[in-house]
Amino acid sequence: MTRTARELLDTTTAHLAPDPDANPLVPLIERGAASRDTLAALALEQHGVIAADHRSFLHLAERAATGGDAACAAFFRTLAEGEVLAGQRLTSFAAACGVDEERTAAYDPLPGCQAYPAYVAWLALNAAPPDAVLALTANFSAWGGYCATIARALRGRYGFPDEACGFFDFFAEPAPDLEAKAAAAVQAALDDGRLDERLAHRYGRLLQAYEAQFWSAL
């Protein structure tokens, strides 16, 4: 039986879902047990992740467009636009954590945190765009859940104002337009026989592992 893109996205997301115990930090934030310095480090690490992922997604969009894959190009352009919006919202969270421009400039990133964007950059250079769409979309589900938990905790446990929670609200909210573009990109690749599920699963597994490193390093 021929599968649809939506079915493939759902099964891949379920297959690659992280172990509930893979993230040691979010439960601490949920309980209000993470220090303000740890929250500041989260903001500082995300500053580097957002900038790197933005460039990676633009490169994937360019590669897809050059290869005549309009659906994948649209997906990655939307991701790149989202990183710009997320970066704007990150500023308020960083300020609430006591992070200013001087502290940002002096901060030395943790290798375990920056492994994730480094791998996204690898995908931007090496992965076929449809395979990257499937891998990234599967990974976003767990990230969105983490962000929803953090946003609630920042308000309820740490007393952060809504503006300071906007970065996490942004990723926690449903993104039907992005989901539709992911499905269109995967469907086009399925129809043309351009999707390598084996590689997409490998990429997705590594993305989840590098995200787990991000939280553990913090």
Q: Residue 171 domain-assigned?
A: yes
Rounded-to-integer distance, Cα 133 and Cα 61, Å: 11
In this prediction, residue 10 has a pLDDT band, given cuts at 50, 70 and 90, of very high
Q: Residue 77 domain-assigned?
A: yes
User: Cα separations (Å) of 157 from 21, 92, 95, 187?
Assistant: 21, 18, 17, 43
Q: Say if residue 1's pLDDT is above 60.
A: no
Token pair in block for residue 126: 């090496």
CATH number of the domain at 161, please. Answer: 1.20.910.10
**Residue 207 is part of which domain span?**
5-13+23-217
Q: Residue 40 domain-assigned?
A: yes
Q: What pLDDT, on a 0 to 100 scale, did the predictor assign at position 92?
A: 97
Provide mean pLDDT across the span 183-193: 96
Rounded-to-integer distance, Cα 153 and Cα 146, Å: 11
Residue 121 or residue 18, greater confidence: 121
Provide mean pLDDT across the span 178-190: 96
Nearest to 169 by CA among 190, 153, 157: 153
User: What's the pLDDT tens digit per position in 115-167?
Assistant: 999 999 999 999 999 999 999 999 998 899 999 999 999 999 999 999 999 99
Share of the chain above pLDDT 70, in %: 99
Q: Say if residue 45's pLDDT is above 70.
A: yes
Residues 6+ away with beta carbon under 8 Å from 97: 36, 39, 40, 42, 43
Q: Say if residue 3's pLDDT is above 90.
A: no
User: What's the pLDDT tens digit per position in 97-119?
Assistant: 999 999 999 999 999 999 999 99
184-201 CB burial, b ≥16 within 10 A, e <16: bbbbbbbeeeebbeebbb
Q: Residue 181 domain-assigned?
A: yes
Q: Residue 211 domain-assigned?
A: yes
Provide mean pLDDT across the span 29-51: 97
For the chain, the domain total comes to 1
Provide mean pLDDT across the span 19-39: 94
pTM: 0.95
Share of the chain above pLDDT 90, in %: 93
Q: Residue 18 domain-assigned?
A: no
